[in-house]
Amino acid sequence: MLPDPRAACWYVWAASMKNELVMARDRALYLGELPATGMHCHPCPVLLLGLSGRFALHRAQHGHTTTHTASSAVVAAGVEHLLDPQGECVALIYLEPDAPPARALTAWLAQNGGVLWEPCPKVRQRSLTHDRLRHFDLDALLTRPLPPPCAMEPRVQNALQALRLHAGDGVSRTSAAARLHLSASRFNHLFSEHAGVSFRRYKVWCQLRAAIGALAAHQRLTDAALEGAFTDGSHFSRQFRNTFGMTPSSVLRPLRTVTLLA
């Protein structure tokens, strides 16, 4: 029996892929291979796309774990899950809470219990999919158009943007509240209600973003950790594992390119 030439093309393409990270103002893309994660959850929604095959997604829910295999999925913020790429190349797009696509996906995710299964067609034109991923073209990646994004509370949106911009400066909840002329407790409630995540948790996320983005200039993880205002490499490693379910070295050391977009 002759080998399927399409399968051979998959293997050639997968072998030529480089682990790549693209970070933009309100979204980020990881492209390449990943180890299986531990159970974890993010403070923002993530689009998972199998590029060379199907992945397994294990979800902790109501005291037990369910397992699905899929070619694509969107996981809402705060949903505990384990991703097993099963040796396949994958793409992950993280959307910040104030990003228009994240706000547009809110209703869909709520209607589907926090996980949207198979929102993307199966990858067939690999170079075209890669190009759409790098341009964060979700309308072209999804099978149906996104609905209009829901409104974001302006004060919370300003706080989200300020945190991403100044995460490495050790922004405190008190100082963030003072800039908006709110008490710390009122600010914390407002932030959690509209961002869908606590201020403390989102601050750690932004510190991780700052540290990971610093890899574009620094080769050592310890140097990058300091850019994210972590006390040391161990602190960075612990928070990274809590957030992504993996050690930073298993994800970041194999990176070939880190691109920062304006």
Q: State the residue for tokens 């200039």.
A: 217
> What phi-psi label fits residue 181: left (phi over 0), alpha (psi between -120 and 50 degrees) or beta?
left
End-to-end Cα distance, the chain: 51
Per-residue CA distances from 191 to 41, 57, 97, 151, 180 (Å): 19, 29, 11, 14, 11
Domain coordinates in residue numbering, the chain: 5-141, 154-248
* Confidence (pLDDT) at 126: 86
Q: State the residue for tokens 């161990």.
A: 234
Model confidence at 82: pLDDT above 70:
yes
Mean pLDDT (whole number) for 204-231: 88
Which band of pLDDT confidence, cut at 50, 70 and 90, is reported for residue 169? Answer: confident
List helix spans (H) across the chain: 5-16, 100-111, 126-134, 138-141, 154-166, 173-179, 184-195, 199-213, 221-227, 233-244, 248-252
* Confidence (pLDDT) at 81: 96
Q: What is the mean pLDDT of the chain?
A: 89
Mean pLDDT (whole number) for 69-81: 96
Which residues make beta-bridge pairs with 49? 72, 91
3-state secondary structure 74-123: EECCCCCEEEECCCCCEEEEEECCCCHHHHHHHHHHHHCCCEEECCCCCC
CATH T-level assignment (fold) for domain 154-248: Arc Repressor Mutant, subunit A (1.10.10)
Mean pLDDT (whole number) for 9-26: 68
The answer for residues whose C-beta is within 8 angstroms of residue 237's C-beta and 6 or more apart is 225, 247, 248, 249
Q: What tokens appear for 256 in the block?
A: 């070939």
CATH T-level assignment (fold) for domain 5-141: Jelly Rolls (2.60.120)
Same fold, 5-141 and 154-248: no
For 171-186, the pLDDT digits (tens) are 889 988 998 899 999 9
